[in-house]
Structure 1
Amino acid sequence: MSRHWLHDLTGQCAQSSFWGRLRESERSAFADVADLVRYERGSRLIHVDDPGSWVAVLCGGRVRVVAATGNRLVAIRVPGDIVGEQAVIDRHRRSATVIADSAVRAALVRAKEFEELIKTKPRLLRVVCTVISERLREATLANAGQGDAFSKLVGYLLREAETARRSTPVNVPVHIKSQQQLAALLGVSRESVVRALRRLREVGLVTTRNGVVVVSDPLRLRMLGD
């Protein structure tokens, strides 16, 4: 994959994505063994129960991850995200189907080359495991019935982020003035807002600073609100 693609992908992906967490030397090593592949909208990158023969990092477009039953949306993945990693790591068959939601470009690395890459760049495995862990936490939050305060907070952040993201697709700042004022606006306790924000920080969906909540990836946050 050309250095032009490397530069473009690094500039557009979220820092919390797989690609955004890599060091420059790790990105270069990944690109050295990757093939750039293209998928038309509606085509399937991954079929459930397929063997895990490759991993890929999305370079353009977005994909839907669909549960094995075929009727439940599990996640949306966008440039910088890795797909197909779990089956390569645990050597089990694919547990979900991945469908191109638009025209997609991806940097694909075969399982054997990926295993060799991990040997030379062992930090890569730690980044992959961190991403898998965060996705499991997100799934737990989405399925656990988080409660009224959590749902209200996610809904509010989504509405504000969708308005602001016209100028920036990732790391969207939402100005809340203070946690106390946000709690009053939502009609919940400040303590519940603190807990909800902590949970969102733990899975890398937001960062917080004085008076501002930064939504790192509105598409991923929407998965909790749906």
Structure 2
Amino acid sequence: MPEPTAPEPPWPPGTLMAELSTGDRAALERLGNPRAYRPGSALMLEGDRDTEVSLLTGGYVKVLGGTEDGGTALLAVRARGDLVGELAAIDGHPRSATVLAVRPTTVSTVDGAAFRALMRERPGLAAAVQRSLTAKLRAATRHRIDAGAGSATVRVARTLDTLARRYGHADPAGLRIGIPLCQADLAWLTGLSNASVQRALRRLRQDGAVTTRYRSLVVRDLGALRATADLPAVTGG
């Protein structure tokens, strides 16, 4: 007899899929076409005029934006359960960012016109997409504030706190951030140099707040991390 397959894990809290009703979730999944991407390959390119949306079903992606000096800035990370590309699908304007796979990534791609039609048919889905976009805008605004204020250690601690609360999962050593970010990624997210991020991580390790390995970071003490970030302590169980 074939071995039973493991049940699909629930959609991560805070993602669009976790917020949808069972019916809206199933309707969105029925429209999608599966695709797979290798690490470093592009799901979407800034400036392109296609309007497909992609539901991430596995892996992680980076959202990158071009800077005025010709460089690249890491704007956000997205993971399983998140939707990318919905802005172009809704307003028809060119892509505002490039989306690259960080690790082997699977998606369910939906045509932009079909996505808009589904939102018209299902007000609950449309409301959830609107809330998701609002949350992304708030997070981007908060990130601009956090990344531009405080010492390097404070800025790194605030960024790690956001990532831990958004993408962290239980680990024997604490709360593992489930995204394989390197120091260069953290430098992009915080607007700091690689050397400044390295010094900040050393300080956080010395304080017992985090443990770092190659492309792996565990928050050992969330209270200590938030204290360094000058953020209020998390209350409740």
TM-score, normalised via structure 2 length: 0.64
Shift of 1:138: 1.4
Match of 1:123 in 2: 124
Pick aligned residue for 1:154 from 144, 158, 161: 158
Q: Comparing both structures, which one devotes a greater share of its residues to helix?
A: 1
Shift of 1:155: 6.5
String of CA shifts for 1:107-151, please: whole Å, max 9, x gaps.
111011111111221121211121111111111122123446974
Pick aligned residue for 1:63 from 39, 61, 64: 61
The amino acid that maps onto 1:102 is R
String of CA shifts for 1:19-78, please: whole Å, max 9, x gaps.
111111011101111111111111111011111421111001111111033511111111
CA distance in 1, matches of 2:157, 2:75: 21
CA distance in 2, matches of 1:109, 1:75: 22
Identify the structure with bigger relative contact order (alpha carbons < 8 Å, sequence gap 6+). Answer: 1
Residues 151 and 125 of structure 1, relative CA distance in 2, 3 Å threshold: same
1:63-212 matches, within 5 Å, as 63-69=61-67, 71-144=72-145, 145-147=148-150, 151=155, 154=158, 157=161, 163-166=173-176, 169=178, 176=223, 186=227, 193-194=231-232, 208-210=234-236, 212=237
1:214-225 matches, within 5 Å, as none
The amino acid that maps onto 1:64 is K
Mean Cα deviation higher: 22-31 or 118-127 = 118-127
SS at match of 1:95: coil
String of CA shifts for 1:144-164, please: whole Å, max 9, x gaps.
234469748636847896842
Match of 2:14 in 1: 16
Residues 187 and 25 of structure 1, relative CA distance in 2, 3 Å threshold: closer
1:24-35 matches, within 5 Å, as 24-35=22-33
CA distance in 1, matches of 2:36, 2:221: 35
* Alpha-carbon RMSD: 3.4
8 Å CA contact 2:164, 2:175 repeated in 1: no
CA distance in 1, matches of 2:20, 2:220: 23
**Runs of 5+ consecutive residues of structure 2 not aligned to the other structure:** 1-6, 180-218
Shift of 1:104: 1.0
Residues 52 and 126 of structure 1, relative CA distance in 2, 3 Å threshold: farther
Shift of 1:13: 2.9
SS at match of 1:31: helix
Pick aligned residue for 1:36 from 21, 34, 37: 34
8 Å CA contact 1:54, 1:88 repeated in 2: yes
Equivalent residues, number: 180
